[in-house]
Amino acid sequence: MLLVSEVVEHKDRFVAGLVKRGIDNAAELLDNIIALDDKRKSTQAQLDELLSESNKLSKSIGMLMKDGKKEEAEAVKQKTADIKAQSKDLTQQLEDTKNELLNELYQTPNIPNPDVPAGKTEDDNEEIFCVKTLPDLGEDAKPHWDLIKEYDIIDFDLGIKITGAGFPVYKGKGARLQRALVNFFLDEAEKAGYQEIQPPVVVNEASGLGTGQLPDKEGQMYHLSDTDMYLIPTAEVPLTNLYRDVILDEKELPIKNVGFTPCFRKEAGSWGAHVRGLNRLHQFDKVEIVQIEHPDKSFDTLDQMVKHVEGLLKKLDLPYRILKLCAGDLGFTSSITYDFEVYSAGQKRWLEVSSVSNFKNYQANRLKLRYKDADNKKHLLHTLNGSALALPRIMAAILENGQKANGIELPAVLKNYTGFDRID
């Protein structure tokens, strides 16, 4: 969440950032946050003053009784009781104000980094890189939903039978290809210095709040209604929450973790041909990389993470492009995001397979994630994450781009993981 002290000090910059995101009442929103924070500080000061006075009076009661001044002592007792009643009211006011302020901050998105392009929709995203030549397999090229039936490697009907739409069953070489991709991505992350973590796939409300998935404005998370638990939409949530309420030593930075998990998303409102087959699922597998970094180094780290994802796509020999998201297309918690898309020759369209983001101190402020510098002073850290990679659309692109007249050729880099180089 936004740091109120920064909002106060650089209000115009924060207003401009929120307006760039499309929030027209940004000035009013931030004025309300500042007013609530002023009220919080004022109420806290009144409460502190009353408690200090109460402590002094309490100490004087014993002295008055000792000196035989019983009536004066009783009067002081009454005054102390009155102060305690006032203190109780102020404590409740303070709690209510803190909650109201926190709710406003939870509902306010991060501001875009200055170099994030202006714009409202994905059409305004800036293309940073695109391969020069796209594969053209001709009019007979099949989309992956036809290929998986032909080679019997993924079964959507069985998934519907067991669970419902959007929960596919991977079979035979399809299952082995899925596992091969996971292991390949994890091995590449380990080579890049990431420590593998196997986190829970169910998280509590505090974890969802910590990384910004809650409040869930778009209703995308699966909630276990008899508890405060949620199925994770991404491994970002548990991997980053490992460091909630943690103070790191500066020498420990950067923290580099990678995790493979299933991910669960309702994808409410999704429909049409663009979400057919593997293009959009309610459950899918993903390898996620997360870094906790010093504020002065987070943008260098962002560049490294972008290069890591790019390297994976090159090794898979998939045609790709990189987009810098415009302000209106940014995720709620992100300050800057690069999307990777692969070209799907069977569908003749681009498919998003990764987002790499720098949240700066937005998540860290929610998480109370800080570090101590050489002078033992505490500062908020920066958090970053990226898909490296999400599997369904990668698999769709591999199947479609590798299709031949008599089978599907797989990327050479996967042969040591699958034990085969084609599906036929």
**Annotated binding-site residue numbers for ATP:** 265-267, 352-355
> Which H or E element spans position 114?
none
**405-to-147, 291, 343 alpha-carbon distances in Å:** 12, 43, 20
Binding residue numbers for L-serine: 234, 265, 288, 385
Q: Encoding tokens for residue 193? A: 């210095």
Binding-site residue numbers are: 234, 265-267, 288, 352-355, 385
Helix (H, G, I), strand (E, B) or coil at 404: strand
Alpha helices, H only, 234-279? 236-241
For residue 265, how far is the Cα from the chain centroid? 13
Q: What is d(CA 374, CA 397) in angstroms, rounded to the nearest whole number?
A: 49
Strands 283-293 and 255-264: antiparallel
- In 3D space, the residue among 423, 373, 378, 387 whose CA is nearest the CA of residue 402 turns out to be 423
Dist. CA 68–CA 345, nearest whole Å:
96
Look up residue 344 and give its two tokens.
Answer: 């799907």
333 with 2: CB under 8 angstroms?
no
